[in-house]
Structure 1
Amino acid sequence: MELRTWVVAIALVTLPVHGAVASSSDLAFEWLSPTERLQAQRPDPAKDVHFTSFVETVDTTGGVVALFHPELSSRDGTISMRPRMMTFHVISSGLLRGLSPRDKVHVTVRRIRGAIMITNIQKLR
């Protein structure tokens, strides 16, 4: 291979992936664009569903957390689910910092891009 081909190949491999954000210890995937994250952070009583749960597993690099949720029902009807264990995407992997399995949390979810995503998660004492 000639040098030019190697330089192009290396440049393509090292380009940042759309939605990936570098953190101090690893790469964390962001499911939404910065604009979508800002929109999702704004409270919307018709779309938001709140509940309290315990963290089962956390994957900060994948931007997901597994929780057992109670029955979920949003006012606008976009969310209607029976209680179960579920893995949720978060709007920003930064929301998962400091969370560990068995932590008690208060969660806000909303349907975004067809998926039920966590827009806010707070560790409770």
Structure 2
Amino acid sequence: MDQRDKLIKEIRGESLGDTNVQSSSDELFQNQVLRPILQLQNDLFIASFLNYINKYKRDFYTKSVENKLAIIENAIQKDIKFRNALKGMIIGLFTNDEYALYIQNSSSLNKRMMNLLIERLKSQVQLFEKE
């Protein structure tokens, strides 16, 4: 393992979530790679979404909670530039071996990645209040 991979694994920390012998390879990747990265990058995702709403959704702060949740979901699912920026924040913390696994099944893993991120931001919607 090269120095970069070793450093990334140290920074990310331990696997999050339950896995067992019956876990699929995608589920293992999710719990061993995606969840720790999402946790590590959480503050960056929040800052990125705040920037997004200040640039493109200035009326976000006047919306109901339900509408705010829908905006979070739509921003990540439908705004390809924003989605790709978020993906880059995650993929940039893959090791070389993890990236090799990712490219074999990127479609399924992208879906998991974005769903986890949507749920993470929705669960913190109270942080997206005007100060």
What TM-score bracket applies, with the shorter chain setting the length? under 0.3
Q: What TM-score, normalized to structure 2?
A: 0.26
Q: What TM-score, normalized to structure 1?
A: 0.27
Higher relative contact order (CA 8 A, sep 6+): 2
- Structure with the higher helix share, 1 or 2: 2
- Structure with the higher strand share, 1 or 2: 1
